[in-house]
Chains A and B, each alone.
Chain A
Amino acid sequence: MPSPPATSPSSKRRNLFAVAAYYSDICVGSIACRLEKNEGGSIRVYIMTLGVLAPYRGLGIGSKLLNHVLDLSAKQNISEIYLHVQTNNDDAITFYKKFGFEITDTIQNYYANITPPDCFVLSKFTTQAPQKK
């Protein structure tokens, strides 16, 4: 059984995890994830949000944030990471593909208030062996 992040201070919201990115003291981006249990009992990571303010994109901030989460999950021996992306968000899809994510599913009418309302599920599976960068 992999344990939740060792640094987590509060037991109640143990399955939540968030990081903010600062660019010369300005908060410009963040990533938020949560831990979920598979039917089989294994743990996977769901990336709820990942965002960087528009003017600060293309500086590698998003990559750093995502890598941070990937590293942590690797350390925890978590083998699956997944997220939802709106089907027309090509930038995001190319971004995630760079990190080894693949489209594994399409959900119709996932979003209630934006068009198109469909989304892809992007997932990344890693081998059980912990990766070292």
Chain B
Amino acid sequence: MGTSLPNKESNLFKVIVKSYETKQYKKGLKAADAILKKFPDHGETLAMKGLTLNCMDRKSEAYELVKRGLKNDLKSHVCWHVYGLLYRSDREYREAIKCYRNALKIDPDNIEILKGPAQMRDLTGFVETRQQLLTLKPNHRTNWIGFAVANHLNSNCSKSIEILEAYEGTLEDDYPPDNERYEHGEMLLYKISLLEECGLLDRALEEMHKKEAKIVDKLAFKEQMASISVKLGHLEEGEKMYRSLLVMNSDNYKYFVGLQKCVGLYSENGNIHQMKLLSLEALYKSLRSQYTWSSAAKRIPLDFLPGEKFREAADNYVRPLLTKNMFSYFTTWPSFFFFVCFHSGVPSLFSDLSPCMTTLARSGNFSILTATNILEQLFLHLESSLRSTGSFPGRTEKEPPSTLMWTLFYLAQHYDSRGQHDIALAKIDEAIEHTPTVIDLYSTKGRILERAGDFVAAAAFADEARTMDLADRYLNSECVRHMLQADQVALAEKTAVLFTKDGEQHNNLLTICNACGMFCYLWNACSCRLSFEKHYLDMTEDQFDFHSYCLRGKWLSRAYVSMLKFQDKLHSHAYFQKAAAGAIRCYMKLHDSPLKSATEEEENEMSKLDPSQKGNLDRSRKGRSSCQKEAEEKNGDVSSTMSKSGKRQNARPVDLDPHGEKLLQVSWGSTFGATKYLKLLQSNSSESLETHILSFELNMRKQKTLLAFPVFWSLLIYIIFQAVKQMLKLDENNPDCHRCLIKFFHKISNFSTPVTDSEKLVWNVLDAERQNIKNSLAEANEYFIEQNRDSLAHRAAAAEMLYVLEPGKKAEAIEIIEDSTNDLAQSNGALGSVRKWKLDDCIAVHKLLETVFIDLDAASRWKCCEDAEKVRSQQPKCLCVLIKESTDPSLALPINTTLALHLPKACNSDAKVSDCPSILKLSPDSPDAKIFREAGGDASTTTNTNTNTSTPSSSSAATNNSSGSKMIPANIAARLLSFVGSVCSSVHVKLLV
């Protein structure tokens, strides 16, 4: 490098390169300038200077310099290499590869450049360059391994085995010297796993026996051995292996599964024959006595034991976990209080036990309901015993006091999952009273309130939990999620900023995204999604660093390959699915209600409103814009900390459009963005029903715009049809599937007969398929109801479709919905019942009645949440908070205070607004208290006018002076209301200003 320079400058050039590598950019820049003073046109120096500038956030200068350098010295591999690096830092991998290739043409033996292509996932290129490297330096083991890995990745397993064998051939017998034993062992294990992958199991086994002494990682060796033995059918051998593995680690579920496989007591779907069940039981009994400390050995039987045995086993399993009696001694911290509360083992008990109910149900032993009931009874039994005697039933020694608290905690989660929020709240409140210092209790209470529909209170408790441990990221993001749900955007952002520093905010971001997506903060949500996508890109970026690390001779080839595989699967990860689906929903909402019209509407509303209300709206607007500003600042902060930390040298462009409004304009009217995500979903998670539903919805929207182009249109119809078919294949009985199916064929039947060839083709296929469905769509619909008499969601879907098919039968459709009964499945009689309806379903039905059927009367009759009434009676505070917050402009909560104050009486709920100040502990002179006082007086003068019968009239009044703002979606309002008391739909329009 730098050969064309005289001695002194040549040394300077080396300084540049060195200071680039050691990140001393200023020094490098100085050296570069020194050379350029004498040789202003020296290409390589120009290029290096550009590269250095690139790392100092001076992108445009960097590109200019590198290009100039290249122009001056086209024959230099350095210049090309630098150009490639530059592109790489901007993630333009295709361009980067071109540059690398050019560099290689000039200097085919340059090792630095040869290492490039693997990082670009250019597999053939990778193989080539690795081969070159190997021929250049065959005495480096790194190069052998690198070549093998390249072939492996290029799905040429046998070739890579050959390579490794050839490499072994070059070694002496006593090869691995003591300091390289581990590396050699890793290589051997890698080779064995390759053999296994190729299906050469016998050879793999043989190899293992031969090389056992040379493999250092005994655990990996045994695992490999066991898995190969099982594949070969050497079950006895495998059993031996798994048993010895269990000695090493008796809590690894994989080993237990392996052992079960070896003794022939395993089945994929958990269906174990009655006869085998006994021997399986015996197996675990012996394992339990052998590994008394293993919780896995105690836990696994819960998945297959029937009835009474299940109860017994669960009892034994649960007790020590509830007790967990360790007296951790004092944490001494002089001079100030210091609390550290761990999320100890017990809270997870619920999530540990709940999947076992589903597995039990699946294995056909008994239904979920009975499994849950058994557990419920068990815990209630424990609770009453702990309460009366302070010890577990049948024992005399006292349990520690915390046991009762954990039992209550479990029960709260249990009732919450069964939809009995009132009991859940009572339990959790008791637990909090018992031990007010446990954080988990507060966050769980928040979650229960969330499910019960009271978001504001949920956010308050999540915040309380957060303040109890400010250093906990999980609590922070959980709190942010709750706040966003409660529409406290400004507050949420403030809270989120506490933890957003570097680029690593995977979980954080995702929760934010979901919350945003749910609540129509489209502009926010979209940009969040984008940064989410960015995060994925970051991960891709990170793997580059890992590439060179792995191949640099660390000999982690096995870990390396599995990492690459993980990367490939990244897009099918459940979280990505969630995020992508959310993004598509956002785009569709954008498509349906573009921002522009929303703001216009708002303007119109403004002119209609009277001055006082106008002020209110203005304030809430201001609140919104201030939060926007903050977000911008936040973005600035993030980028500055990033460059400061120097962790990521390539400075990212600051997100200039934090609220995505530009993005919105771009995507408005087009659904390209959504299509992009959809494609990713389709290729990666075609098994998911949601993917196809999204595909259906999206394409149905598209087809309207394409009607003018018959060829494209019929193609699209065909695509939609495919989606429908896939859905039916996955779950015929899903209400959403049914909706799509009926909608699709109904739509098709409305169009004229085919004209062009392509249309005819598609039509023929469709016709053939239609034969499979019932004679007419109406009949299919009837049949669907018949099949799912008892499910609310199914009934609602069927009713909606009936209305779509025959608009005249509106009354009949509504009747179908209203006839549904919320059966209380009686369980044990002692403590209530399980409600089958979920809050979400109820809200969906409510929305359906209102927006699709446009029948406010029916909607107002729709009462579903007796639960909610109970919640309210226990938590009068929440309503008051809601009203108070509505006067707080910083929360951007556009709820009209006056209207909100009318809420309780309009809903016939007995909450007294005038009680609020005392509930909230406001001082009687504060302005907040004044609002309540005035309102209380106001309300009392006008009471008795609002009863259920008068709701229609009040609804019409409401539409006159309000509604239209898109800030609070209907479902939130519905939730708020359903929480306050019985649902009165018409009032919920009133809430929006």
Pick from A8, A27, A56: contact of B401, CB under 8 Å: A56
Q: Are B402 and A20 in contact (CB under 8 A)?
A: no
The minimal Cβ–Cβ distance linking B385 to chain A, given in whole angstroms, is 16
The minimal Cβ–Cβ distance linking A21 to chain B, given in whole angstroms, is 6
**Residue-by-residue, is B698-739 near A (CB-CB < 8 Å gives 1, otherwise 0)?**
000000000000000000000000000000000000000000
Once A16-B335, A17-B334 are accepted as A-B contacts, the answer to whether A22 and B328 lie under 8 Å apart by CB is: yes
Measured between beta carbons, the chain A residues less than 8 angstroms from B434 are: 53, 55
Kindly state whether residue B741 has any CB partner on chain A within 8 Å.
no
The winner among B326, B342, B405, B435 for most chain A CB atoms within 10 A is: B435
List residues of A (1-33) whose CB comes within 8 Å of B's CBs: 5, 7-10, 13-14, 16-28, 30, 32
Kindly state whether residue A68 has any CB partner on chain B within 8 Å.
yes
Measured between beta carbons, the chain A residues less than 8 angstroms from B328 are: 22-25
Q: A14 to B438, alpha carbons, bound, how many Å?
A: 29
Q: A28 to B335, alpha carbons, bound, how many Å?
A: 19
| B interface residue count range (under 10 / 10 to 19 / 20 to 34 / 35 or more) | 20 to 34
Kindly state whether residue B332 has any CB partner on chain A within 8 Å.
yes
Kindly state whether residue A64 has any CB partner on chain B within 8 Å.
yes
The minimal Cβ–Cβ distance linking A25 to chain B, given in whole angstroms, is 4
Kindly state whether residue B290 has any CB partner on chain A within 8 Å.
no
Measured between beta carbons, the chain A residues less than 8 angstroms from B334 are: 5, 7-9, 16-18
Once A24-B400, A26-B341, A55-B404 are accepted as A-B contacts, the answer to whether A16 and B336 lie under 8 Å apart by CB is: yes
Q: A53 to B324, alpha carbons, bound, how many Å?
A: 18
Q: Are A8 and B341 in contact (CB under 8 A)?
A: no
The minimal Cβ–Cβ distance linking B325 to chain A, given in whole angstroms, is 6
Measured between beta carbons, the chain B residues less than 8 angstroms from A30 are: 337
**Residue-by-residue, is B299-341 near A (CB-CB < 8 Å gives 1, otherwise 0)?**
0000000000000000000000000111111111111111111
Pick from B336, B338, B342: contact of A25, CB under 8 Å: B342
**Residue-by-residue, is B432-453 near A (CB-CB < 8 Å gives 1, otherwise 0)?**
0011111000000000000000
Once A55-B401, A55-B434, A56-B401 are accepted as A-B contacts, the answer to whether A27 and B339 lie under 8 Å apart by CB is: yes
Kindly state whether residue B344 has any CB partner on chain A within 8 Å.
yes
Q: Are B326 and A24 in contact (CB under 8 A)?
A: yes
The winner among A26, A56, A59, A68 for most chain B CB atoms within 10 A is: A26
Q: Are B405 and A18 in contact (CB under 8 A)?
A: no
The winner among A5, A27, A65 for most chain B CB atoms within 10 A is: A27
Q: Are B333 and A24 in contact (CB under 8 A)?
A: no
Q: A86 to B300, alpha carbons, bound, how many Å?
A: 55
Once A56-B401, A64-B330 are accepted as A-B contacts, the answer to whether A26 and B335 lie under 8 Å apart by CB is: no
Q: Are B332 and A9 in contact (CB under 8 A)?
A: no
Pick from A7, A8, A22: contact of B330, CB under 8 Å: A22
Q: Are A24 and B344 in contact (CB under 8 A)?
A: yes
**Residue-by-residue, is B378-412 near A (CB-CB < 8 Å gives 1, otherwise 0)?**
00000000000000000000001110110000000
Q: A7 to B330, alpha carbons, bound, how many Å?
A: 15
Q: Are B336 and A13 in contact (CB under 8 A)?
A: yes
Q: Are B336 and A55 in contact (CB under 8 A)?
A: no
Pick from A14, A21, A23: contact of B402, CB under 8 Å: A23
Q: Which residue of B lies closest to A13 (CB)?
A: B335
The minimal Cβ–Cβ distance linking B859 to chain A, given in whole angstroms, is 47
Q: Are A24 and B325 in contact (CB under 8 A)?
A: yes
Q: Are A28 and B435 in contact (CB under 8 A)?
A: yes
Q: A114 to B788, alpha carbons, bound, how many Å?
A: 63
Measured between beta carbons, the chain B residues less than 8 angstroms from A19 are: 330-333
Measured between beta carbons, the chain A residues less than 8 angstroms from B332 are: 7, 19, 68
Q: Are A18 and B437 in contact (CB under 8 A)?
A: no
Measured between beta carbons, the chain A residues less than 8 angstroms from B330 are: 19-22, 64-65, 68
Q: Are A8 and B327 in contact (CB under 8 A)?
A: no
Q: A65 to B331, alpha carbons, bound, how many Å?
A: 11
Main secondary structure of the interface of A (DSSP, over half): mixed
**Residue-by-residue, is A16-58 near B (CB-CB < 8 Å gives 1, otherwise 0)?**
1111111111111010100000000000000000000101100
Q: Are A28 and B437 in contact (CB under 8 A)?
A: yes
The winner among B327, B338, B436 for most chain A CB atoms within 10 A is: B327
Q: A3 to B435, alpha carbons, bound, how many Å?
A: 37
Main secondary structure of the interface of B (DSSP, over half): loop
Q: A65 to B332, alpha carbons, bound, how many Å?
A: 10
Q: A19 to B327, alpha carbons, bound, how many Å?
A: 15
Q: A16 to B336, alpha carbons, bound, how many Å?
A: 7
Pick from B327, B333, B405, B438: contact of A20, CB under 8 Å: B333
Q: Are B331 and A20 in contact (CB under 8 A)?
A: yes
Measured between beta carbons, the chain A residues less than 8 angstroms from B437 are: 26-28, 53
Measured between beta carbons, the chain B residues less than 8 angstroms from A16 are: 334-336
Q: Are A25 and B335 in contact (CB under 8 A)?
A: no
The minimal Cβ–Cβ distance linking A73 to chain B, given in whole angstroms, is 13
Q: A19 to B331, alpha carbons, bound, how many Å?
A: 7
Once A13-B335, A18-B335, A18-B337 are accepted as A-B contacts, the answer to whether A23 and B436 lie under 8 Å apart by CB is: no
Q: Are A26 and B327 in contact (CB under 8 A)?
A: no
Q: Which residue of A lies closest to B401 (CB)?
A: A55
Q: Are A8 and B335 in contact (CB under 8 A)?
A: yes
**Residue-by-residue, is B7-44 near A (CB-CB < 8 Å gives 1, otherwise 0)?**
00000000000000000000000000000000000000
Once A21-B330, A68-B330 are accepted as A-B contacts, the answer to whether A26 and B438 lie under 8 Å apart by CB is: yes
**Residue-by-residue, is B925-942 near A (CB-CB < 8 Å gives 1, otherwise 0)?**
000000000000000000
Q: Which residue of B lies closest to A65 (CB)?
A: B330
Once A19-B332, A53-B435, A55-B405 are accepted as A-B contacts, the answer to whether A25 and B400 lie under 8 Å apart by CB is: no
Q: A13 to B336, alpha carbons, bound, how many Å?
A: 8
Q: A64 to B329, alpha carbons, bound, how many Å?
A: 10
**Residue-by-residue, is A49-87 near B (CB-CB < 8 Å gives 1, otherwise 0)?**
000010110010000110010000000000000000000
Q: A19 to B336, alpha carbons, bound, how many Å?
A: 8
Q: Which residue of B lies closest to A61 (CB)?
A: B327
Measured between beta carbons, the chain B residues less than 8 angstroms from A64 are: 330
Q: Which residue of A lies closest to B405 (CB)?
A: A55
Q: Are A24 and B335 in contact (CB under 8 A)?
A: no
Q: A56 to B402, alpha carbons, bound, how many Å?
A: 8
Q: A21 to B329, alpha carbons, bound, how many Å?
A: 7
Pick from A13, A21, A24, A56: contact of B324, CB under 8 Å: A24
The winner among B325, B331, B335 for most chain A CB atoms within 10 A is: B335
Q: A35 to B328, alpha carbons, bound, how many Å?
A: 27
Q: Which residue of A lies closest to B390 (CB)?
A: A55
Q: Are A20 and B337 in contact (CB under 8 A)?
A: yes
The winner among B331, B333, B401, B435 for most chain A CB atoms within 10 A is: B401
Measured between beta carbons, the chain B residues less than 8 angstroms from A23 are: 327-328, 400-402
The minimal Cβ–Cβ distance linking B334 to chain A, given in whole angstroms, is 5
Q: A23 to B339, alpha carbons, bound, how many Å?
A: 12
Q: Are A20 and B436 in contact (CB under 8 A)?
A: no
Measured between beta carbons, the chain B residues less than 8 angstroms from A25 are: 326, 328, 341-342, 344
List residues of B (565-580) whose CB comes within 8 Å of A's CBs: none
Once A26-B402, A26-B437 are accepted as A-B contacts, the answer to whether A20 and B338 lie under 8 Å apart by CB is: yes
Measured between beta carbons, the chain A residues less than 8 angstroms from B339 are: 20, 27
Q: Are A17 and B335 in contact (CB under 8 A)?
A: yes
Measured between beta carbons, the chain B residues less than 8 angstroms from A8 are: 334-335
The minimal Cβ–Cβ distance linking B595 to chain A, given in whole angstroms, is 49
The minimal Cβ–Cβ distance linking A17 to chain B, given in whole angstroms, is 5
Q: A64 to B331, alpha carbons, bound, how many Å?
A: 12
Q: Which residue of A lies closest to B341 (CB)?
A: A27
Q: A80 to B58, alpha carbons, bound, how many Å?
A: 68
The minimal Cβ–Cβ distance linking B867 to chain A, given in whole angstroms, is 29
Measured between beta carbons, the chain A residues less than 8 angstroms from B341 are: 25-27
Measured between beta carbons, the chain B residues less than 8 angstroms from A65 are: 330
A-B contact pairs, 25 of them (CB 8 A): A5-B334, A10-B335, A16-B334, A17-B335, A18-B333, A19-B331, A20-B330, A22-B328, A22-B329, A22-B330, A22-B331, A23-B402, A24-B324, A24-B344, A24-B400, A24-B402, A25-B326, A25-B328, A25-B344, A26-B438, A55-B404, A55-B434, A56-B401, A59-B400, A68-B330
Q: A10-B336, A25-B328 are in contact. List 13 more A-B contacts (CB 8 A).
A: A8-B335, A9-B335, A18-B334, A19-B331, A19-B332, A20-B333, A20-B337, A24-B402, A27-B340, A27-B437, A53-B437, A55-B434, A59-B401
The 5 A-B residue pairs with the shortest CB-CB distance in the complex, in nearest-first order: A55-B401, A25-B344, A27-B437, A8-B334, A25-B342
